Amino acid sequence: MSLRLGDTAPNFKAVTTAGDIDFYDYLGDSWGVLFSHPADYTPVCTTELGRTAQLDEEFKKRNAKVLAVSVDPIEDHHGWVKDINETQNTDVKFPLIADKDRKVAELYDMIHPNASATATVRSVFLVSPDKKIRLTLTYPAATGRNFTEILRVLDSLQLTDEHSVATPVDWNKGDDVIVSPAIPTEEAKNKFPKGVKEIKPYLRYTADPSA
Percent of the chain with pLDDT over 90: 77
Question: What is the per-residue pLDDT across 143-190, written as a single tens digit (0 to 9) for each?
Answer: 889 999 999 999 999 999 999 899 999 999 999 999 999 999 999 999
For residue 78, tell me if it sits in a domain.
Answer: yes
CA–centroid distance for 209 within its chain: 23
For residue 140, tell me if it sits in a domain.
Answer: yes
Question: What is the per-residue pLDDT across 17-58, written as a single tens digit (0 to 9) for each?
Answer: 999 999 999 999 999 999 988 888 989 999 999 999 999 999
Same domain, 26 and 120: yes
For residue 5, tell me if it sits in a domain.
Answer: no
Backbone φ and ψ for 165, nearest 5 degrees, come out as -140, 170
CA 124 to CA 116: how far, in whole Å?
17
CATH number, domain of 177, equals 3.30.1020.10
* End-to-end CA gap in the chain: 40
Same domain, 136 and 66: yes
The residue segments making up the domain with residue 199 are 163-206
For residue 157, tell me if it sits in a domain.
Answer: no
Provide the pLDDT for residue 113.
Answer: 47
For residue 211, tell me if it sits in a domain.
Answer: no
Provide the pLDDT for residue 106.
Answer: 85
For residue 4, tell me if it sits in a domain.
Answer: no
Same domain, 63 and 119: yes
Q: Which residues of 80-91 are buried (b: 16+ CB within 10 A; e: fewer)?
A: bbeebeeebebe
Provide the pLDDT for residue 139.
Answer: 86
The pLDDT-based confidence of 133 (bands split at 50, 70, 90) is: very high
Same domain, 130 and 43: yes
Work out how many domains the chain is built from and give that number: 2
Same domain, 24 and 83: yes
For residue 99, tell me if it sits in a domain.
Answer: yes
Contact 38, 32 (CB under 8 A): no
CA 46 to CA 71: how far, in whole Å?
15
Question: What is the per-residue pLDDT across 111-122, written as a single tens digit (0 to 9) for each?
Answer: 654 444 445 557
Question: What is the per-residue pLDDT across 49-105, written as a single tens digit (0 to 9) for each?
Answer: 999 999 999 999 999 999 999 888 999 999 999 999 999 999 999 999 998 888 898
Same domain, 72 and 117: yes
Provide the pLDDT for residue 117.
Answer: 43
CATH number, domain of 125, equals 3.40.30.10
Same domain, 179 and 94: no
How are beta strands 64-70 and 203-206 bridged, if at all?
A: unpaired
Same domain, 131 and 194: no
Active site residues: 45
For residue 25, tell me if it sits in a domain.
Answer: yes
Same domain, 32 and 121: yes
Same domain, 104 and 201: no
pLDDT at 204 exceeding the cut of 50: yes
Same domain, 89 and 192: no
Same domain, 98 and 130: yes
